[in-house]
Structure 1
C-alpha cells in the first residue's frame, strides 16, 4: 500500500490527523506530483477548510493544468459553498480534461439544476446514468430531469428502471404516479400513489395525490 492509499484509508476511517500526516509525507517526497495536493485538498474540503483546500487544488493545477480530478475537487469546494456558477465551471473543466466519471457528470448536472437550468443539466444526467447503471440516485435524478424537460414517456421508463433497482424506492413510485397524471391516466396514477404509501405511509404528497385522484374518479 502506497502513501496515497494509506492516506485515503485513514480518511475513510475518519482518522483525519493521520491522513493529513500521510498526504503531507507524500507531498514532501513527491513535490511535483499533483496527486498528493489533490488528496490533501480533498481532506481539507472534508473538514470545511475551503480556503486552504483551494490552495492545494490550485497548486495541483499549476503542476498539471489538465488535471481533471483537481478541477473536480474545486467544483466540490464551490458546490459546498453554494457558489453553483463557479462550481459548474470547475466541473465542466473536469470533464473537459478527461474525467470520464459518473460522479463528475452527475455533480455538473446537479449544479446546473441548482441554477434552474434543467435543460442543460439533462445531457449530463444522461451521461452519468450511462456510466453507472446501478447507482439508484443517479438513475432517479435522471428520471426526474427527463420529466422536468417534458419527456414524460422516457421519464416513465427511467423511473420504472429505478424501481427495478430498488422496489422500495418510494419517490420513484410517487413520480411514476405524477407522470401518469400528466398522461391523463388517473387509474394508473392511483395505483402508484398507493404503492408509494405502502412503502412510505407518511409520504404526504402521495397521500394528497391519492385523495385527489380518488375524488376525480368518483366524478367520472
Structure 2
C-alpha cells in the first residue's frame, strides 16, 4: 500500500471515530490531492467546510483543486470567500490571481498579485503569478523582472524558471531561455513541464528534432499532459505533418476539453484546409471555453467571411471588438466584410480606427485606399495606397489600386509604372493586366494592349468570366484596328 493510500486509510478510521473532524477531512483531501484524485479531494474539502464554513485552509485547498480542474469560477469564488474573511491573507490573493490568469482576466490578475506582494513582499509565488499575467499581456520585460524576483526569493521554484524561459523566448533571448529550462530539469528531472518548456525554446529556434525529443519526453513522463500534445501538434503542423498534427490537437482536447487555445489551434488547422464546418465548431467551442476572449470570435468571423457570410462575420467582429477595443486586426477584418457588402463608408471608418491603433498597418491603408477607390475619391486613394506601399513595398494590390486611381486622375505614365510594378511583384495578378490593357488602349498602344489582355485571359480565374469575354472582344477590335493601319 502506498504512503498516500495508507494515509487515506488512517484518515478513514479517524473520520469514523470523529465524524465532525473538519481537520481529518482536510488531511484526507490533501492525500487525495497527492494521488491526483482532484474530485475526491474537493469532496473532502467540501465536507470540512460543511462542518466549519470558515475553515480557511479548506477553502484555500479547494480553490487550488478547482483551479487544477479548470473550474475557474468556483476557484475564484473560494478565494474571494477567504479574502472576505481575512483580507490580509496574501496566499488567497495569489491563488485568485492565478485562477484569473487562467480565465484570461489578466488585468484583474495583476491587481491581485500586486496586492499579495504588498501583503507579503517575500511571496515568490505571487511574483511568479504576476509575471505570468504580464507575459499574457505581452509585457515580457516586466514578466522577466517578476520571474527573476521570484527566483531570487526561491531559487528552486521550477514554475518561475519555466515561465521565465517562455518570456525569454518571446524576446528572442534563446540561450538564456535554454539555461532556465535546463535549470528546471536539474531541479526535477521528472518534470514534464520543464521538458515541454525547453521544447518550446527549441521549436522557436527551428531545432525540430530537439523540440520533438523534449515533447516526447514530456509526454512519456506525463501521458495526460495535454499542453505537451498541443505544442507537439503545432510543431508537426509547422513541419508539414498534418496527420500527426491533427492527432495531437485532438488528443490535447480530449485530455483537457476546457482549454480555448487547444480548440483555436485545431480550428486554425481546419480553417487552413478550408474545412470550414469543423473550424466553426472548434472556434465555437473556444468561445464557450473562454467567452471573454476575442480571438475565438475573430477567427470564427474570418471563416464566415471566407464562406461569403459577411453579416455573420460582422456580428462576430462586433463582439471581438467589444471584448478587445484595441484589437486592430478586428477592425481591419470588419472593414473587409463591410466593403464586401458595399458599405464603403463603414469600411473606411473601421480602417481609420485600425490606423489610429496601429499607424504602421499597411493592410489598413491598403484597404482604405481600395474603398476610397470604389467611392471615386481618387486623390485620397492615391495617398492611402502610397502609404501602404511605403510600409510594405511588396504589396502588389496597393500598386494596382494606385495605378487605377492615377489613371482616373489622368496620370497615365505614373499609372503604367504602378501596373508594371504590380505584375513584377505578382506576375499572375490578372486584374492588373486588364487595367494596364485599358490604359494602353486609351493612349493608342495597340500591341501593348493586346498583349496585356492576353495575359489577363491567361491568369484570370473562372469568376472573371464576364471580363474574360470583354477582353476577347477587345482583342478582336484592337486587331482590326491594327489591320487598318
TM-score normalized by structure 2? 0.37
> In structure 1, what is the Cα distance between the partners aligned to 2:334 and 2:459?
38
Q: Report what 2:140 is aligned to.
A: none
CA contact (8 A) 1:68 1:94 kept: yes
Residue 100 (1) aligns with residue 360 (2):
yes
Q: Which has the larger radius of gyration?
A: 2
CA contact (8 A) 2:283 2:299 kept: no
> In structure 1, what is the Cα distance between the partners aligned to 2:391 and 2:482?
42
Q: Report what 1:7 is aligned to.
A: 264
Q: Report what 1:51 is aligned to.
A: 315
Equivalent position SS for 1:16: helix
> In structure 1, what is the Cα distance between the partners aligned to 2:371 and 2:298?
20
Instruction: Using the TM superposition, name which of 210-219 and 1-10 deviates more.
Output: 1-10
> In structure 1, what is the Cα distance between the partners aligned to 2:476 and 2:415?
24
> In structure 2, what is the Cα distance between the partners aligned to 1:183 and 1:44?
44
- The answer for unaligned runs of 5 or more in structure 1 is none
> In structure 1, what is the Cα distance between the partners aligned to 2:374 and 2:438?
22
Please provide the CA RMSD for this pair: 3.3
- The answer for unaligned runs of 5 or more in structure 2 is 1-230, 232-258, 272-278, 305-311
Aligned pair partner of 1:176 in 427, 436, 443:
436
Kindly provide the CA deviation profile for residues 82-127 of structure 1, in whole angstroms up to 9, marking residues without a partner as x: 3221221121111022252232122212222333323322222222
> In structure 2, what is the Cα distance between the partners aligned to 1:99 and 1:4?
29
Q: Report what 1:209 is aligned to.
A: 474
Task: Tell me the CA shift for residue 156 of structure 1.
Answer: 1.0
Task: Tell me the CA shift for residue 37 of structure 1.
Answer: 2.0
CA contact (8 A) 2:295 2:320 kept: yes
> In structure 1, what is the Cα distance between the partners aligned to 2:459 and 2:314?
40
> In structure 2, what is the Cα distance between the partners aligned to 1:7 and 1:42?
8
Q: Cα gap change, 1:130/1:41 in structure 2, threshold over 3 Å: closer, same or farther?
A: same
Q: Cα gap change, 1:129/1:97 in structure 2, threshold over 3 Å: closer, same or farther?
A: same
Task: Tell me the CA shift for residue 130 of structure 1.
Answer: 3.3
CA contact (8 A) 1:69 1:94 kept: yes
Kindly provide the CA deviation profile for residues 16-45 of structure 1, in whole angstroms up to 9, marking residues without a partner as x: 232333355455xxx5xxxx3255244246
> In structure 1, what is the Cα distance between the partners aligned to 2:283 and 2:402?
35
Equivalent position SS for 1:78: helix
Within-5 A mapping of 1:52-71: 53-61=317-325, 66-71=326-331
Residue 89 (1) aligns with residue 349 (2):
yes
> In structure 2, what is the Cα distance between the partners aligned to 1:194 and 1:50?
38
